[in-house]
Each structure stands twice: as structure tokens, then as C-alpha cells.
């Protein structure tokens, strides 16, 4: 079929589709929708929690074989091939936010992973993750950062418009190319136009898309964008159907019978509270995604921006959280001033941490120092060392420090112990707040490794009277 027989609308579509690289990327790994199998494999991994992945990867695969959770495809399979299986499982755990597994750091089973290990709770946990997972996130290549949406929320919204679901082609051609929530009406219109196009024209369009090779594609042989998307669709559908609302066969994706009302209610919750957060690195992303207590809303966004000391973004999230009734009415200016006070305190301690305790010094590395030190459990406000070489985690609170900060500080200390401290090195925690509440005082009494300090700001100003000019 010649180009002019396809029509101007589809000619424009073919050109745009073939030239755009960004889509809802899905990593190739093991199936995500066998939740019982994933739970059993995570249970095995949890035995290695805190140990270096590079050192225990083969041991993990051996442990899976003993539990009959992995079988080599062939006798005499090489260690390197078996290690690749470990990496594929790692992809699944990473994609669901269940465990941080990285070649250069210790294994960390997240709070989401621990919830997932509770028997009978797997699908509930995954359902929550589906509504938190976003594009863009730093776990995927940076050229995808033009996409800013929650893909599962967008997909559910599309499926609510088509009682019979959508086909694999409709997903590959239209849905996964959406960049923003406001692309919804465009995608729905594209699907309707596709259904009103003859099968002969459809086949011609698909053939031309498949033949539009991307020269820069990183593969054994260059492929088209259509082929790239088609090859990872099954992994994406496994992900989206691992929750409680969607189902799929090889050709069609739909909302489960009897789950339409529930899906609509969950979408309403997202539309009233959900947001897309701007993350700067993989650790920051994963500290949010792996935190089961963190919801997809502006409160979570505010916490991320606060940690980064990005006042304007934190204030904007604060305003939005109030508008969505996630926070009680209060002064935006007062909030902003409190944030500035915390930054001033952090600035001071970066250069004068010894004023907090004699012998402390800011931890320094070749490419960073100990201020806002990145970890998979969140950035540490100040990471220091004392004169004995012990590690000191310092957590700052601009106002009253409550007992909730104990858990946060303990997580940071655990991460430092597993990833930075040498054998025998101690790890301490210091909490600094304008005031310390009574519950935190009692919690500190029960901890030999965490202490607390209060602070105040004292600035004295004296007017400088200029010398009188000689008459």
C-alpha cells in the first residue's frame, strides 16, 4: 500500500512514532505477576540482608536451587550464566521496590519488602506500588525524562473508557507513548481512530513502523521503535496485572470483571491526591519507592524537596497539600521561614560540626562530602566522623524533634554500618532539634547509641555609625 493510501493522519503518526525514543520502558527480567514465587525468593534474599551483593550473589543462587526456586536450564551451566539469573531476579525486586540490590553496596530489604513478606499481603503491597511507580524515575535511562506521569493511573483511566479493554497493538502504538496526564484525550481519540481504520490499512501501518529502523538502538542488530516496545510489552503487562484490578491474555488488556467500581474509586483517589515527584538520583527515588509508609501525594513530595533543601519546590508542595486537605490550614510564610532556619543550621554544621561535639569532623570523599549524604534509605543530613574514627549520623529538625525521628536515624545508622563502616567501627546517632519532646527523651534513654541536642539562633547586631566626614 502506498503512502498516500494511508492518509495524512496516519502518515504524521508514523513519522512521529518512529522518531520519538521515549516510551513506558519495562526492564527485561523474570515475570512480576507470580507473587508467591517472588515472596519465596525475597525470603531467601532476606537472609543476606546487609551483606555485599557482589560477594553473595552466587550463594543466593545456590540457596534458590536448594529451595527449588531456580533450576539451571542445562547441566553444567556456567557460574556466569547462573549469576545472570540472580541479576534477573534483582530486576524484579527493584521494579517492585522490595529490595535494593546493587553491585557496589549492601543488600537492603525495604519496608515495602518486609510488608510483602507477610503472607497473604502480597497483592495489597503491589497494588500500592503500582500507584507510586512513576515515569520519569532515575532507575531508567535519562532520555525517558520527558515522561511525567504515573503509568498505572493513566492506563486504568484509559481502560475505564473501553469496556472490552485494549489490544496489544493499541497499547504499543498509543498508550505507552503518553507523556503527561493531559495526553489522555489524545490517546483515547487515537484508539478510536485506529478502530475505525480498515484492517488492510492497519497492517500497512504496522509493517511500515516495523521497518523504520533506529540506527542508534543498542541491540545486537538495529530494530524499530515498534519492535523495541513490542518486545518488552509482556513484562509491562505482567507488572500492571500483578495488582488487583487488571488482567490480560496475549492479545488484550482489560479491567477484571467485578473490579470496575473499585478501579474507578482508586483512580479518583489518585486524581484528588496523586502527584509526580522530581527525583535527582536512583537512591533518592528508591528511598521513596521502597518506603511503605510513603504515599503518592504532595506530602511525600514535600519531604523529598525538604531533604534536598529546595525551598521553592517544598513550599509549592506544601501549598498543594493544603489545597488537597492533606495538611491543616497554616501560614505558608511560617513554613518557609522554618525551612530556612533548618538550612541555616545545616550550613553552620557543615563548616563547624565540631561546635556540636568536640572532635567531630565532616565526612569527605573525592566527589562529595557528608552534607545530605545519599543513601538508599534517604539522604543523611550530616555524616561525620569523630576523633576515634567512629561514624556519626546527625539528623536535624527545624522545630520540635519527636520520637518518629528515632526510627529514621536508626535506619541511616544501619545503612552506614552495612555500607561504610569497617569491622569494629562504631556508628552513633545525634538528633538536633529546637526542642525535644518527652516521648523522644524516653526513647533516647533506651538507646545507648543515639543522643540529642537542642539549639537556638542568637544573632547580635550593632549599628555601625560611619565616621563623620571632615568639615
pLDDT at 82: 64
DSSP characters over 131-154: TT--BS-TTS-GGGTT--B-HHHH
Cα dist. 67→45, 116, 189, 238 in Å? Answer: 12, 19, 50, 24
pLDDT at 367: 86
Q: What's the grid cell of residue 327? A: 495538611
Angle, CA 47 vertex, CA 284 and CA 238 arms, to 5°: 60
pLDDT at 461: 58
| Runs of H (alpha helix) within 330-437 | 332-352, 404-419
Which residues, listed in sequence order, are joined to residue 301 by a DSSP beta bridge? none
User: CA 303 to CA 309: how far, in whole Å?
Assistant: 10
Q: At 246, which helix (H) or strand (E)?
A: strand 246-248
| Runs of H (alpha helix) within 30-167 | 35-46, 53-66, 79-95, 111-116, 122-130, 151-159
Over its length of 471 residues, how does the chain's per-residue pLDDT go in tens digits? Answer: 444 567 899 999 999 999 999 999 998 877 788 899 999 999 999 999 999 988 898 899 889 989 988 766 555 556 566 667 777 888 899 999 999 988 788 999 999 999 999 877 899 999 999 999 999 999 888 889 999 999 999 999 999 999 999 999 999 999 999 999 999 999 999 999 999 999 999 999 999 999 998 865 455 568 999 999 999 999 999 999 999 999 999 899 999 999 999 999 999 999 999 999 999 999 999 999 999 999 999 999 999 999 999 999 999 999 999 999 999 999 999 999 988 988 999 999 999 999 999 999 999 998 889 999 999 999 999 999 999 999 999 999 866 666 678 888 999 999 999 999 998 899 999 999 888 888 888 888 878 899 988 887 765 556 666 665 444
Q: What's the grid cell of residue 68? A: 527449588
pLDDT at 2: 46
Q: At 254, which helix (H) or strand (E)?
A: strand 252-255
Among residues 154, 192, 223, the alpha carbon closest in space to that of 9 is found at 192
User: CA 174 to CA 172: how far, in whole Å?
Assistant: 6
Report the 10 Å Cβ neighbour count for 109: 23
Tell me the whole-structure pTM to 2 decimals. 0.89
pLDDT at 424: 87
Q: Which fold has domain 342-454?
A: Trna Endonuclease; Chain: A, domain 1 (3.40.1350)
For residues 138 and 169, the answer to whether their CB atoms sit within 8 Å is no
pLDDT at 78: 61
DSSP characters over 350-375: HHHGGGTSTT-EE-B-SS-BSEEE--
Among residues 326, 323, 301, 327, the alpha carbon closest in space to that of 312 is found at 301
Q: Write the burial class of residue 430 (CB in 10 Å: 0-12 exposed, 13-18 middle, 19+ buried).
A: buried
Among residues 375, 360, 363, the alpha carbon closest in space to that of 413 is found at 375
**SS3 of 442, please?**
helix
Domain boundaries, the chain: 342-454
pLDDT at 218: 54
Q: At 273, which helix (H) or strand (E)?
A: helix 260-273
Among residues 176, 30, 22, the alpha carbon closest in space to that of 94 is found at 30
Amino acid at each position: 500500500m502506498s503512502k498516500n493510501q494511508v492518509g495524512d493522519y496516519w502518515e504524521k503518526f508514523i513519522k512521529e512514532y518512529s522518531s520519538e525514543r521515549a516510551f513506558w520502558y519495562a526492564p527485561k527480567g523474570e515475570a512480576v505477576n507470580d507473587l508467591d514465587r517472588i515472596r519465596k525468593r525475597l525470603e531467601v534474599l532476606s537472609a543476606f540482608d546487609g551483606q555485599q551483593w557482589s560477594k553473595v550473589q552466587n550463594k543466593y543462587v545456590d540457596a534458590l536451587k536448594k529451595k527449588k526456586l531456580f533450576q539451571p536450564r542445562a547441566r553444567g551451566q556456567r557460574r556466569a550464566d547462573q549469576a545472570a539469573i540472580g541479576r534477573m531476579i534483582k530486576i524484579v525486586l527493584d521494579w517492585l521496590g522490595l529490595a535494593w540490590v546493587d553491585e557496589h553496596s549492601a543488600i537492603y530489604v525495604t519496608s515495602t519488602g518486609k510488608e510483602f513478606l507477610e503472607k497473604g499481603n502480597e497483592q495489597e503491597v503491589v497494588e500500592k506500588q503500582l500507584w507510586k511507580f512513576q515515569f520519569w524515575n532515575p532507575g531508567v535511562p535519562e532520555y525517558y525524562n520527558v515522561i511525567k506521569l504515573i503509568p498505572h493511573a493513566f492506563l486504568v483511566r484509559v481502560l475505564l473508557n473501553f469496556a472490552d479493554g485494549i489490544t496489544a497493538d493499541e497499547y504499543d502504538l498509543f498508550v505507552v507513548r503518553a507523556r503527561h496526564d493531559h495526553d489522555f484525550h489524545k490517546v483515547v481519540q487515537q484508539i478510536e481512530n485506529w478502530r475505525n481504520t480498515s484492517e488492510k490499512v492497519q497492517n500497512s501501518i504496522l509493517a511500515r513502523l516495523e521497518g523504520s529502523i533506529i540506527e542508534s538502538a543498542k541491540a545486537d542488530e538495529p530494530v524499530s521503535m515498534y519492535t523495541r516496545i513490542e518486545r518488552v510489552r509482556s513484562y509491562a503487562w505482567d507488572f500492571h496485572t500483578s495488582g488487583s484490578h487488571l488482567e490480560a491474555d496475549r492479545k488484550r488488556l482489560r479491567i477484571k470483571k467485578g473490579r470496575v467500581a473499585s478501579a474507578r474509586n482508586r483512580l479518583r483517589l489518585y486524581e484528588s491526591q496523586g502527584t509526580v515527584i522530581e527525583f535527582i538520583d536512583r537512591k533518592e527515588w528508591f528511598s521513596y519507592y521502597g518506603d511503605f509508609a510513603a504515599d503518592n501525594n504532595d506530602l511525600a513530595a514535600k519531604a523529598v524537596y525538604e531533604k534536598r533543601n529546595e525551598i521553592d519546590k517544598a513550599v509549592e508542595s506544601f501549598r498543594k497539600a493544603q489545597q488537597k486537605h492533606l495538611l491543616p490550614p497554616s501560614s505558608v510564610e511560617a513554613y518557609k521561614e522554618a525551612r530556612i532556619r533548618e538550612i541555616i543550621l545545616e550550613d553552620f554544621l557543615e563548616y563547624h560540626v565540631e561546635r556540636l561535639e568536640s572532635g567531630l569532623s565532616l565526612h569527605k570523599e573525592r566527589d562529595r562530602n557528608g552534607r545530605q549524604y545519599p543513601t538508599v534509605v534517604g539522604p543523611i543530613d550530616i555524616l561525620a566522623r569523630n576523633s576515634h574514627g567512629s561514624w556519626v549520623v546527625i539528623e536535624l529538625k527545624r522545630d520540635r524533634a519527636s520520637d518518629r525521628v528515632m526510627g529514621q536515624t536508626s535506619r541511616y545508622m544501619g545503612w552506614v554500618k552495612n555500607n561504610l563502616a569497617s569491622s569494629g567501627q562504631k556508628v552513633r546517632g545525634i538528633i538536633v532539634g529546637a526542642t525535644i519532646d518527652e516521648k523522644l527523651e524516653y526513647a533516647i534513654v533506651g538507646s545507648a547509641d543515639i543522643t540529642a541536642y537542642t539549639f537556638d539562633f542568637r544573632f547580635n547586631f550593632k549599628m555601625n555609625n560611619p565616621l563623620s566626614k571632615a568639615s
